[in-house]
């Protein structure tokens, strides 16, 4: 039986005027899951990821290893380093990728015990990230360039490399992470992420992955979710019909 990592219970989100985006989303995420989240544009997929990361207002309960985000070590900021949202457009982030890594590393150091802290922690993380990025065609100098000055593909590769190199995320929330990449680089990124999930030595245990590509869904997905008409439901195939009947989503290991 797979271990449950993350649970959503009756998660609902509405617009300011009270119009529901989605209601009563129930979901269990297990170790080893790659949950592909599909749905038409505007159905609320990105908003659901932001709710899971506690970045968007919502009702309902989120439980990570039996604790709410507020009860986790480091409270909500600490939770976000372990259930990490990776946006589609990193150009919205401030400063440079190197600054981003330094800021997150400092947050982690404040949460860590004295034994876990190291004088060169940030430097080690940046070296790992630069090494991963180089394998994906990112030259080291781009890490000190403002996010806004990076191309869409450069920004996506750098942000994913940064998130993985921090080695704290147990659940990654990926919002169309390869939408600006060519086919070859997309495959490299997919393989790297899947290898991380399958390795017992890595912190990463599961991914929720938004994609509009049926082929990518088929390559990476172990479970398939669809957001439609405000409901979230699970199907057995990677391109579910719009008429699929909504049901409560439960982990297969439960």
Per-residue pLDDT tens for 192-215?
A: 999 999 998 899 999 999 998 999
Q: What is the mean pLDDT of residues 227-241?
A: 79
Give the model's pLDDT for residue 252: 42
d(CA 80, CA 129): 19
Give the model's pLDDT for residue 122: 80
Q: Is the pLDDT of residue 241 over 60?
A: no
Give the model's pLDDT for residue 128: 93
CATH number of 72-222: 3.40.50.300
All CATH 3.40.50.300 domain ranges in the chain, comma separated: 72-222
Give the model's pLDDT for residue 72: 94
Of residues 56 and 92, more confidently modeled: 56
Phi/psi of residue 41, nearest 5 degrees: -60, 135
Instruction: Confirm if 130 and 143 have CB atoms less than 8 A apart.
Output: yes
CA distances from 141 to 9, 10, 149 (A): 44, 45, 12
d(CA 225, CA 208): 10
Q: Is the pLDDT of residue 16 over 50?
A: yes
Q: Is the pLDDT of residue 159 over 90?
A: yes
pTM: predicted TM-score of the whole model, two decimal places: 0.88
Of residues 253 and 202, more confidently modeled: 202
Give the model's pLDDT for residue 45: 96
d(CA 68, CA 210): 24
Q: What is the mean pLDDT of residues 171-199?
A: 96
d(CA 154, CA 215): 22
Least confident window among 89-98, 180-189, 217-226, 242-251: 242-251
Of residues 2 and 76, more confidently modeled: 76
pLDDT class for 253, splitting at 50, 70, 90?
Answer: very low
Of residues 17 and 4, more confidently modeled: 4
Give the model's pLDDT for residue 109: 61
Q: Is the pLDDT of residue 90 over 90?
A: no
Give the model's pLDDT for residue 111: 53
């Amino acid at each position: 039986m797979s271990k449950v990592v993350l649970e959503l219970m009756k998660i609902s989100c509405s617009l300011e005027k009270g119009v529901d985006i989605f209601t009563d989303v129930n979901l269990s995420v297990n170790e080893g899951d790659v949950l592909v989240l599909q749905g038409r544009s505007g159905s609320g997929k990105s908003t659901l990821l932001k709710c899971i990361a506690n970045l968007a207002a919502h009702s309902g309960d989120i439980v990570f290893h039996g604790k709410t985000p507020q009860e986790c070590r480091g409270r909500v900021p600490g939770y976000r380093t372990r259930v990490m949202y990776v946006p589609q457009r990193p150009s919205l982030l401030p400063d440079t990728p190197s600054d981003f890594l330094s800021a997150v590393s400092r947050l982690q150091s404040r949460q860590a015990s004295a034994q876990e802290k190291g004088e060169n922690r940030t430097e080690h993380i940046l070296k790992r990230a630069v090494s991963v990025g180089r394998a994906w065609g990112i030259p080291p100098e781009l890490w000190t360039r403002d996010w806004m000055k990076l191309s869409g593909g450069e920004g996506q590769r750098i942000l994913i490399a940064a998130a993985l190199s921090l080695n704290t995320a147990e659940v990654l929330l990926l919002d169309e992470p390869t939408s600006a990449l060519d086919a070859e680089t997309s495959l490299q990124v997919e393989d790297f992420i899947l290898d991380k999930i399958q390795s017992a030595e890595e912190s990463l245990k599961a991914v929720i992955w938004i994609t509009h590509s049926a082929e990518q869904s088929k390559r990476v997905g172990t479970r398939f979710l669809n957001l439609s008409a405000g409901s979230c439901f699970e199907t057995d195939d990677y391109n579910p019909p719009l008429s699929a009947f909504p049901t409560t989503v439960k982990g297969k290991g439960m």
